[in-house]
Amino acid sequence: MGTLTTRFSTIQDPDEKHKFLLNMGPQHPCTHGVLRIVLEMDGEYAMGIDPILGYGHRMHEKMAECRQWSGFYPNTGRIDYGGAIPYNHGYCALIERMAGIEVPERAEYIRVITVELNRIASHFLGVGAYVIDLGAFTPILYMFDDREDILDALEDITGSRLTYCHHRVGGVSKDIDDLFIKRTRAIIKNIRSRFDMYDRLVTGNIIFQKRTKDVGIIPVEMARRYGATGPVLRGSGLGFDIRKNEPYSVYPEFDFDIPTGENGDAFDRYMVRMLELEQSLRIIEQALDKLPDGPVMAKVKRVKLQPGDCSFSVEAARGMLTYYLVGDGSNVPYKLKIRVPSYSNLSLLEELCKGSLIADLVSAMGSLDLIIPEIDR
């Protein structure tokens, strides 16, 4: 901020009247929450981009250090409200790895099914909101229609619609029933039948293509430099996915592909998300077919966090999510660090959009699919 105010004083120069500072956010509809970006404009070109974070800071990491480990369950559902279940999963798997708890196989399958359903819901939210940013209002209504079915099904087993708290250390809190399986199969069929419609509505649209193709190109080298993960990295052409590269849970048992883009522009990132929907549907289908019987909760005795540290990574809807925990022998975490994907994805915005039109900045930022409370934590 300091550098910008000094720059601002130089902008007062009468010869540079076309230069001005512009606040994008904290209430800008495209920032999806409370992200403020100070833009140093030169006419319609953004020459300086300075994201200012912290409006949604809720001290999640500190909260984890102030209560016993089980008290962090509800927080995991509230860090990323778009795709909360992978956060549930990561935290439970972390404690399980630390305490050496075996999870029943049925519980692992249920975890995978709920995580993938949530990933689809999250991609619908992300893509729908992105298309709204670009000025098309209709597609989000169709996407929310599909998302609604998923939320209804998830509500039936988790009890909530957005801030889920379903997974537990040692399993899941509620088993799935035949109704849920029937419902999920109907959802898979319905979403598959609508891919063609989304292609006609969004992908083929000339305005959408003109606003996304060759906009916000992220080369692989740049994505790696900033630690970008998820569809942002895969859109640049590198097929890095924790589910394949560092397999966890029962993911190795499923057959699925990692879609990648070629140019690394906003259109590729959109396409990667749309193709991932199909892959998630494939995983859910296989998990429902293979779903074993048995208990959904292991017998968990009192868990003490051993002195030492442990980390666990999962593939959240927006990229790599890592929990890192330091224990001191009590049942209260000494330190919990959460590595969220959106933070790294946002950090490349400055280099990505320097000197671009403000309309392209909106398009590039929307294609990163940022969730601001996740960045602020």
Q: Which residues bind other proteins (CB under 8 A)?
A: 67, 70-75, 77-78, 138, 142, 145, 152, 155-157, 159-160, 163, 165, 168, 173-174, 197, 200-202, 204-207
332 Cβ partners below 8 Å, 6+ apart? 65, 66, 67, 68, 69, 305
Q: Which is nearer to other proteins, 173 or 263 (CB)?
A: 173
Residue 2 CB, shortest distance to other proteins, in Å, is 38
DSSP string, 353-365: HTTEEHHHHHHHH
Q: Which is nearer to other proteins, 1 or 206 (CB)?
A: 206
Residue 209 CB, shortest distance to other proteins, in Å, is 8
Q: Is the peptide bond before 14 cis (omega within 30 degrees of 0)?
A: no
Whether residue 279 contacts residue 256, with contact meaning beta carbons closer than 8 Å, is answered with: yes
Residue 214 CB, shortest distance to other proteins, in Å, is 15
Cα–Cα nearest to 62, from 70, 72, 73: 72
The residue length of the chain stands at 377
- In the three-class reduction of DSSP (H, G, I as helix; E, B as strand; rest coil), residue 298 is classed as coil
Q: Which is nearer to other proteins, 75 or 229 (CB)?
A: 75
Beta bridge partners of 316: 319
Residue 182 CB, shortest distance to other proteins, in Å, is 15
Residue 261 CB, shortest distance to other proteins, in Å, is 21
Residue 152 CB, shortest distance to other proteins, in Å, is 7
101 Cβ partners below 8 Å, 6+ apart? 95, 169, 170, 298, 300, 303
Q: Which is nearer to other proteins, 176 or 368 (CB)?
A: 176
Q: Which is nearer to other proteins, 202 or 353 (CB)?
A: 202
Q: Which is nearer to other proteins, 208 or 256 (CB)?
A: 208
d(CA 238, CA 243): 14
